[in-house]
Amino acid sequence: MTEELIAAAFLLPKFRTSWTKDDATIRMGVDYIKQHMIAPSLPLGDATSSSDEEDFFSALQAPQAQDNSKELDGYMAILADHMDSLKFFPAVCKLSVKLNTPLPASAACERLFTITGLVFSPRRARQHSRNFENQLLLKMNSKFDSFK
C-alpha cells in the first residue's frame, strides 16, 4: 500500500486506524499526513506594523507545524465517526478532501460513446461483438496510423 492510500483511509472518520494494527503502517500514514497538511490561510491583520522587517520575520515566528501536529492529534483522538467532525479541523479536512475526492473521468467515456455511435450504424447492426470491438479500436486509434 502506498503512503497516500494509507493517509486517505486515516482521513476518513469512519475508518481512521481501525482497519490496521501495524505500527509501521500507522506511522507511515501519520508521517504522510504531517508532511502534506497545509495550514488554513490566516486573515491578514491591519498594516500598523512599524517596519517591513517586522512583517518579514512575523511569518517565521508562526508555529504552523506545531499547530498542524496538534490538529492531527486532536482529530485522531475524537471518537466521532461522521464526516461533520472534520469541520473542527480545517487543515485535516482540506487534506481529506484532496486525498479522498475522485477525479472526474466523464470526458473519456463521452468520447468513447460518440465514436461508438459513428461505428455502429444500421448497416452494421448484425455484426459480432468482437468485430465491433476491433472496429472501435481501429477508429479510436486512427490518429496513430502510420501507413500513409
Domain boundaries, the chain: 3-100, 106-144
Residue 130, pLDDT score: 84
Whether 90 and 40 have beta carbons less than 8 Å apart is answered as yes
Whether 11 and 99 have beta carbons less than 8 Å apart is answered as yes
42 Cβ contact list (under 8 Å, min separation 6): 62
Residue 47, pLDDT score: 47
Per-residue DSSP letter, 79: -
Which residue positions in the chain have pLDDT lower than 50? 42-47, 49
Residue at 29: amino acid letter: G
Whether 19 and 11 have beta carbons less than 8 Å apart is answered as no
Q: Residue 59: which H helix or E strand, with range?
A: helix 52-61
Whether 60 and 53 have beta carbons less than 8 Å apart is answered as no
Shortest CA distance to 72 belongs to which of 134, 7, 22, 6? Answer: 7
Gap between the Cα atoms of 136 and 117, Å rounded: 10
Quote the distance between the C-alpha of residue 50 and its chain's center. Answer: 42
Residue at 15: amino acid letter: F
Looking up cell 486515516 gives 10
Residue 44, pLDDT score: 46
pLDDT digits (tens, 9 = 90+) for 10-32: 999 888 888 889 999 999 999 99
